[in-house]
Amino acid sequence: MTNFKIFFDEFFKNIGEDKNREGLKKTPQRVESSWKQLYSGYAKDPLSLLDSPLYDGVCDEMVVLKNIEFYSMCEHHILPFFGEISIGYIPNNKLVGISKLVELVEIFSKRLQIQENLTTQIADTLMKALNPKGVMVVAKATHLCMIMQGMEKKNSILITSAVRGIFKKDARSRAEFMEHIK
Ligand SMILES: [Zn+2]
């Protein structure tokens, strides 16, 4: 907390604020507790989240979970970016529950991120944990850093994707996934 207080004293001074102003007195404390939540992903290990998958020797059909809502902070400007992530994979006999996919997105989004890495980290973790035939992840997000600084318009959306395994070779699987998340 001491370092945190010093950090905010400097911050307020730098932007021309009066750190003793009534409305700001408790701000460092509030930010500290909000950061615990916003950056809670560092304390969780994505691989151990997925280390007890459901086994099912039969299923080798594509599994898709679309429009998983997420909120993250861009590592370049410490400003929010948020949107939706869709995940598809073709199992190799290991399946994972829906809630684990949602939590996987939480773990990686509650860190300082760029959208490209968020997308690939989710795909690579699923490849590693489940050894599926393939994984495809698509993220669509609005970046407040770009909008607030006037570099983008309000409705611009950045789309990133990560394609692994069979999805790379097989255009039909990619098309099937895209059709599902449309
Ligand atoms: Zn940014």
Question: What does the pLDDT look like over 138-160, one tens digit per residue?
Answer: 999 999 999 988 877 778 899 99
Query: What's residue 153's pLDDT?
Result: 77
Residue 24 has pLDDT above 70, yes or no: yes
CA 146 vs CA 54, 82, 83: distances in Å: 41, 12, 14
| Distance from the alpha carbon of residue 154 to the mean position of ligand 1, in angstroms | 15
| Distance from the alpha carbon of residue 80 to the mean position of ligand 1, in angstroms | 8
Query: What's residue 80's pLDDT?
Result: 97
Query: What's residue 1's pLDDT?
Result: 59
Structure tokens at 94: 């290991």
Q: Decide: 138 and 175 in contact? Cβ < 8 Å.
A: no
Query: What's residue 57's pLDDT?
Result: 66
| Distance from the alpha carbon of residue 166 to the mean position of ligand 1, in angstroms | 32
164 by DSSP, 3-state: which? strand
Domain segments of the chain as ranges: 2-38, 40-181
| Distance from the alpha carbon of residue 42 to the mean position of ligand 1, in angstroms | 19
pLDDT tens per residue, range 64-90: 999 999 999 999 999 999 999 999 999
Q: How far apart are CA 160 and CA 164, in angstroms?
A: 14
| Distance from the alpha carbon of residue 25 to the mean position of ligand 1, in angstroms | 28
pLDDT-based confidence at residue 40 (cuts at 50, 70, 90): very high
Would the pTM count as exceeding 0.85? yes
pLDDT tens per residue, range 41-56: 999 999 999 988 777 7
DSSP string, 28-58: HHHHHHHHHHHTGGGGS-HHHHTSSPEE-SS
| Distance from the alpha carbon of residue 122 to the mean position of ligand 1, in angstroms | 20
40-181 topology per CATH: GTP Cyclohydrolase I, domain 2 (3.30.1130)
| Distance from the alpha carbon of residue 76 to the mean position of ligand 1, in angstroms | 5
pLDDT-based confidence at residue 8 (cuts at 50, 70, 90): very high
